[in-house]
Homo-oligomer: A and B are copies of this chain.
Amino acid sequence: MTFSISAHDPQSKARTGILTTDHGPIQTPIFMPVGTAGTVKAVHQRELEQDIKAEIILGNTYHLYLRPGLDVLSKAGGLHRFNGWNHPILTDSGGYQVYSLSNTRKIQEEGVTFKSHIDGSKHQFTPENVMDIQRTIGADIIMAFDECTPYPCDYSYARRSMEMTHRWLDRCIDRFDSTEGHYGYRQFLFPIVQGSTYPDLRKQSAEVIASKERTGNAIGGLAVGEPAEEMYASIALVNEILPADKPRYLMGVGTPANILEAIALGVDMFDCVMPTRNARHGILFTTEGVINIKNEKWSRDFSPVDPGLEGYASQFYTKAYLRHLIKAEELLAAQIASIHNLTFYLWLVRQAREHIAAGDYVSWKNEMVVKLMQRL
């Protein structure tokens, strides 16, 4: 995996480049659609590729481990072969889902025991088996097993949790470096900075993570309810320490404005369920601002979903038709809105790349942040 930066923005920490994997290149900054259970919800694979122009998607280890399970994924030849997505894939470590979805979970030094949200069966994730599981799933980029602390989180818990995440990281690295991918292409392990919103913990964690000298690094534990300013402060602090010549991935973030601000702070990679989840509830991100398509005001608006955005879903369908579909609880509503929102997110990071290359990122970003967050 190589990461080559082609341009730095003169007014900010923003940069644009290319991250190369055995499944092809990823232009950064990039947004990665979330394909929880091996599918980006309501979106066909060819739509991801041709309409949305996604370059990398996520899979969730917790979901894929429980269903379809490792035996099926292994027999398929890994997730790329299983779902037909022949571009890069990143998997999370499963930790976040264990904490948020499992009704009973117990976090101990050894790992986390939890019950499946599907059938209540008991399972354990450890730093070691999570590496093995991600080897079997076969993502190009795999994530270290960490604990993502909630917000707010008291200092002593945040410190103890961060220290355990660091010990888990060493175990992840040991296991990862002593094993190989199953399917003939290379995988890369990204460690995760934690430390809640405490500057000294974030600094300490970033230093530990940087010292591991992995191919790329991630920032976790943000966008969990803290004010945006605290999130940006944490990112700025951490990015001072994480090596500038390696990709930085901000996990689970966020709104269009969050993404543009974090790019200015030197972040290269993003993922979030927001564009797809909000789509299913009728919230559209458009080039002019945010639309709640369920509102009566759109019922007779026969203009395209987003006249400013190229692409089938945004151009072919009208606001009035999409509103009708979502009011009638038709599956096509989720399909159109999901393609549209993801097309918008990928357009947004493409625009960001162009403005970084052009050297006017900050002024463009400042305009866009205001525009994109207004409610239409």
Binding site for B on A (CB under 8 A): 37-39, 41-46, 63, 67-68, 71-72, 75-76, 81-84, 299-300, 302, 312, 316-318, 320-321, 324-325, 327-328, 330-332, 334-336
With A41-B330, A76-B320 as known contacts, state yes or no: A299 contacts B68, CB within 8 Å. yes
With A44-B335, A84-B316 as known contacts, state yes or no: A76 contacts B302, CB within 8 Å. yes
Tell which of B39, B42, B318, B328 touches A37, judged by Cβ atoms closer than 8 Å.
Answer: B328
**Residues of B with C-beta under 8 A to A327:** 67-68
Interface of A is mostly: helix
With A302-B76, A335-B42 as known contacts, state yes or no: A68 contacts B324, CB within 8 Å. yes
Nearest residue (CB) in B for A82 is B321
A139 to B216, CA, bound (A): 57
**Residues of B with C-beta under 8 A to A83:** 321
A302 to B75, CA, bound (A): 9
With A316-B84, A320-B68 as known contacts, state yes or no: A42 contacts B331, CB within 8 Å. yes
What are 23 A-B contacts defined by CB distance under 8 Å?
A37-B325, A38-B324, A39-B325, A39-B330, A41-B330, A41-B331, A43-B332, A44-B332, A63-B328, A67-B324, A68-B320, A68-B327, A71-B300, A72-B299, A72-B300, A76-B318, A76-B320, A76-B321, A82-B318, A82-B324, A331-B331, A331-B334, A331-B335
- Least CB distance from A199 to B in Å reads 41
**Residues of B with C-beta under 8 A to A76:** 302, 318, 320-321
- Least CB distance from A104 to B in Å reads 22
**Residues of B with C-beta under 8 A to A42:** 331-332, 335
A299 to B73, CA, bound (A): 10
Whether A72 lies near B312 (C-beta < 8 A) is: no
With A331-B335, A335-B335 as known contacts, state yes or no: A321 contacts B41, CB within 8 Å. no
With A330-B37, A335-B335 as known contacts, state yes or no: A320 contacts B72, CB within 8 Å. yes
A sample of 8 more A-B contacts (CB under 8 A), given A39-B330, A67-B327, A82-B324, is A41-B331, A67-B324, A68-B327, A68-B328, A72-B299, A75-B302, A84-B317, A84-B321
Nearest residue (CB) in B for A77 is B302
- Least CB distance from A279 to B in Å reads 11
- Least CB distance from A83 to B in Å reads 6
